[in-house]
Chain A
């Protein structure tokens, strides 16, 4: 108690002469200010005072600091429990930051020309000090970000955190998912090696895939939307300097700027929609894992301050159970960020980012594989470029975006599969989803598909009827059945989401591990023919 300092008036150091009750000359005031320059500058810099020792200090620090104020000053304890969020949003954003910083480092050397692109990346890997490590981090952080964004979306879905009033933020999130994939795709071309060249060639062929339809309808000559798409993407008819320039522009300016803007909106909406998703207080009352004093004692009496028309997400999200964001929320965020950083740096230390030979349009890579998260798509593309590359992904993205608008059920959000029956549906859908996708793929590998049996079949039939559309049909039918049986849109959504999740997983695994040259099925790369 003796160690208490007397309170400081905010203007205490502004007029040193005042304290002594003296009138000071201008020069004296100037010298006094000069002497106290450190204190004055410190007070101007940290208005809330330092060190931070009371709840009021904590509130002021978070509220008055530009970098902290995007947080709420107080955070609910349950929002901080790792099991509710797994820290995936923070990790996704953290990897985006890491990508931005390492990207800027890479840009110092990188030149987006042919063949300078390949040369500079090669120099980065083998000549520049730590260049390889920075490039490795960029590569691994990109992988990690895609993973974290997918996982974050999965978490938000299964904790039904997309529910009103968060529908719009879910939409922003879907937009960010598309941007993340776009960033990854555009970055893939930049090294200009064989891997890059042929992956983008596949991509551009997907862009041109609507020709499957227009060819069948005989209107390609009149309205070649596929060709237009490819030309827009590549800045020419082939993957060349035009494509490299456009991809570079997209990768370092347009897409990151869009991502930053959407991230801003995404974070802002979290606050406006009532804070981080968490279960309501009553759901976990008496949970022995929850410690800390309740913010309110039952005997409290309130005075009425005002009656206001209307209702917002902030109403009835009282301060009960909250803790100061400083340090609790920041510590949790920092922990998630550090975990992400540790994983990325660790991976980068042991596994280098690949760099193959200089791109050679005359020697196709076989197999030319996209990054892992596109390989499920590539598997579908192998059945039909248009259905697998545009139709199904398009339907999936639109379907994801519509989830909160088609499932309007209200209830507990913030807990994993809140109702017991949802868990049952999840497991059932997982089994069905895995079984059907494995069945269809195995059938196709074993017996082939329509073209193997009827070589003259029109492409349009293949585009409409292929393993990809069949899987989608099975999933949709199953979910409609669940929807019908349970009478719950949420449960239908759980079924559909789980089915697509299992489909994505299986197709990705098949694309990564079981596809070899000419996209043939091999149980292991050891069986690949020597060429």
Chain B
């Protein structure tokens, strides 16, 4: 089963196609020696068989991207792992955080199936500290990887912050993903300017209760927005954040798509008070205008104008102003202690904690980041755990890198003129149909090919030969992107490295010139290399090889 999918071959993953080619298409087909292939296959198969049941196993708390990655890599290293998941479905934030319109559930499931097929066991619906204690886990497994993510919504600490109708954004998204009741009203206010805030706001748009009858529609100037908002779902979704539009941490695509869908954005205001109605439910939130976000040391420290008050009426508030790790589950575990900020410290590279059998991976180790960071962390920590169990882990054994001259390097005419086309998206009405309706479509083949021409070939570098350069300035002149510059060495900030290089050129700093280049602007058009009369500039391709042993 394993060889059908992946197989580690001295640390590299050989795809099944490789084997098939070996078996079916190789000229060896007609060779009586090809019988050897059967033995090769058997060797790999037996090596990757599930480990014997009595061998040490690893418990992984949390089946999010970090936990999944750790389980995957541990399985490839021949270590049995058990993934404990609080929710009834695996996937962590991938499944109960990221909205379904962004990440279809079957993709998550396909990945989990692969990992399960590699031999990892998934135990869902089990909560540490409730259904099973951490001590039991430590007894059961040789090591425990804690990959519980940062799933606590930071609460809104303003007067009235305890009113009914105020939910954490993360909790809201989780409830939607699990199909639970959300208590969503008609006028929803999302507080926060990040991607989670947009996930919450856009999910709310898709989920909000239907509108009052069409006849009662208020007169509004923006007819299209009105049509979108009232016509589709009938709910108002406001989003308020401290930052200005350009400072918002959310991705631009989230902001623009949110705008298209009718998220009403309020920038530069901060919540000051929650106003309740007689029933104790939120009635409105009072905001103050932000006068500055950063103090003189560029530290986040918002200041408000107490006289500039905005009130936003709402019946539901989704708070998306940050996430925290719920460490309470691990209270009383011997050897583990929290630091001053309430976190359990762990080494980011190895995941090691004060407890020799407990490792921490993903958001729980370093705070909320992207899923891909959690995957990287999970893979790293899996190796660390395997090493601690005495399993031999392929280690990087030397790196080789260098440059190769690309003869006749040429970029096609017009590549620098191509604009970025954003990936196509569905119509707003299509998108808003349900939480499941996807937003983005795929590039057409022609579009994809055209976009691929925008590649700047940044593996190809302009390499300058000091001994040939005659400082004619031709490269600076011909550069269409203004990215090259020749300056006297004395104009550069002296560093040790620079001084060493300067000594090698064997002249005074005043009489030495430095060619400098802004790599961000370079489009690798090679005009400088073409121009150079001394052939001191070559276009060279960078290559890199890391050996694993």
**Interface positions of A (Cβ within 8 A of B):** 1, 4-10, 48-49, 53-60, 63, 72-74, 272, 274, 295-296, 300-320, 322, 324
Contact B505 A308 (CB under 8 A): yes
13 extra interface residue pairs, beta carbon distance < 8 Å, beyond A7-B453, A307-B514, A316-B491:
A1-B421, A6-B446, A9-B412, A74-B477, A304-B492, A304-B501, A304-B515, A308-B469, A308-B515, A309-B513, A314-B471, A315-B487, A319-B482
CB of B399, distance to nearest CB on chain A (Å)? 20
Contact A72 B516 (CB under 8 A): no
Instruction: Pick from B172-180, B326-334, B361-369, B458-466 the stretch touching chain A.
Output: B458-466
Q: Which of chain B's residues 453-489 have a Cβ closer than 8 Å to chain A? A: 453, 462, 464-466, 469-474, 476-489
- Chain B residues with CB under 8 A of A315: 471, 473, 486-488, 513
- Chain A residues with CB under 8 A of B413: 7-8, 10, 48-49, 57
- Chain A residues with CB under 8 A of B487: 315-316, 318
Which A residue's beta carbon lies closest to that of B471? A312
Please report the total number of B residues contacting A with Cβ < 8 Å.
Answer: 63
Contact A10 B466 (CB under 8 A): no
Give the CA-CA distance A6 to B492 in the complex, in Å. Answer: 42
Q: State whether the Cβ of B341 lies closer than 8 Å to any Cβ in chain A.
A: no
Give me 22 A-to-B residue pairs in the complex whose CB atoms sit less than 8 angstroms apart, sorted by A's number.
Answer: A1-B421, A4-B418, A6-B450, A7-B415, A9-B412, A55-B480, A58-B480, A59-B480, A60-B527, A303-B518, A306-B465, A307-B502, A308-B515, A309-B466, A310-B512, A311-B513, A314-B472, A314-B474, A315-B513, A316-B488, A318-B476, A319-B483
Contact A302 B480 (CB under 8 A): no
Q: How many A-B residue pairs have CB under 8 A?
A: 175
Contact B416 A56 (CB under 8 A): yes
- Chain B residues with CB under 8 A of A7: 412-415, 418, 450, 453
**Interface positions of B (Cβ within 8 A of A):** 410, 412-419, 421, 446, 449-450, 453, 462, 464-466, 469-474, 476-489, 491-492, 498, 501-502, 504-507, 511-520, 523, 525, 527, 530-531, 536
Contact B415 A309 (CB under 8 A): no
Whether A4 contacts B527 in the complex (CB less than 8 A), given A9-B412, A305-B462, A307-B512, comes out as no
Contact B517 A54 (CB under 8 A): no
Partner of B515, one of A58, A60, A306: A306
CB of A80, distance to nearest CB on chain B (Å)? 15
CB of B153, distance to nearest CB on chain A (Å)? 35
Give the CA-CA distance A6 to B446 in the complex, in Å. Answer: 9
Contact B517 A302 (CB under 8 A): yes
Which A residue's beta carbon lies closest to that of B464? A306
Which A residue's beta carbon lies closest to that of B479? A319
Contact B498 A304 (CB under 8 A): yes
Contact A301 B471 (CB under 8 A): no
Give the CA-CA distance A527 to B523 in the complex, in Å. Answer: 75
- Chain B residues with CB under 8 A of A320: 482
Contact A314 B473 (CB under 8 A): yes
Which A residue's beta carbon lies closest to that of B506? A309
Which B residue's beta carbon lies closest to that of A295? B482
Contact B453 A311 (CB under 8 A): no
Contact B471 A5 (CB under 8 A): no
CB of B102, distance to nearest CB on chain A (Å)? 25
Contact A303 B473 (CB under 8 A): no
CB of A414, distance to nearest CB on chain B (Å)? 17
Partner of A307, one of B421, B472, B501, B530: B501
Residue of B413, B483, B502, B525 with highest tally of chain A CB at under 10 A: B413
CB of A505, distance to nearest CB on chain B (Å)? 39
Give the CA-CA distance A370 to B72 in the complex, in Å. Answer: 99
Contact B449 A310 (CB under 8 A): no
Whether A319 contacts B518 in the complex (CB less than 8 A), given A4-B450, A7-B415, A307-B466, comes out as no
Give the CA-CA distance A116 to B151 in the complex, in Å. Answer: 106
- Chain B residues with CB under 8 A of A58: 480
Contact A305 B531 (CB under 8 A): no
CB of A296, distance to nearest CB on chain B (Å)? 7
Contact A59 B464 (CB under 8 A): no
Give the CA-CA distance A23 to B67 in the complex, in Å. Answer: 54
- Counting from the closest, the 3 A-B pairs by CB-CB distance are A314-B473, A306-B464, A55-B480
CB of A251, distance to nearest CB on chain B (Å)? 37
Give the CA-CA distance A356 to B414 in the complex, in Å. Answer: 62
Give the CA-CA distance A26 to B484 in the complex, in Å. Answer: 47
- Chain A residues with CB under 8 A of B504: 307
Give the CA-CA distance A77 to B417 in the complex, in Å. Answer: 24
- Chain B residues with CB under 8 A of A63: 478, 527, 530-531
- Chain B residues with CB under 8 A of A49: 413-414
- Chain B residues with CB under 8 A of A309: 466, 505-507, 511-513
Contact B466 A308 (CB under 8 A): yes
Contact B481 A55 (CB under 8 A): yes
CB of A295, distance to nearest CB on chain B (Å)? 4
Give the CA-CA distance A54 to B506 in the complex, in Å. Answer: 41
CB of B130, distance to nearest CB on chain A (Å)? 51
Give the CA-CA distance A486 to B515 in the complex, in Å. Answer: 40
- Chain B residues with CB under 8 A of A295: 482
Give the CA-CA distance A55 to B507 in the complex, in Å. Answer: 36
Give the CA-CA distance A312 to B474 in the complex, in Å. Answer: 12
Partner of A312, one of B412, B465, B472: B472
Give the CA-CA distance A58 to B416 in the complex, in Å. Answer: 12
CB of A336, distance to nearest CB on chain B (Å)? 22
Contact B513 A308 (CB under 8 A): yes
Residue of A57, A63, A72, A305 with highest tally of chain B CB at under 10 A: A305
CB of A309, distance to nearest CB on chain B (Å)? 5
Give the CA-CA distance A302 to B486 in the complex, in Å. Answer: 11
- Chain B residues with CB under 8 A of A310: 471, 507, 511-513
Which B residue's beta carbon lies closest to that of A58? B480
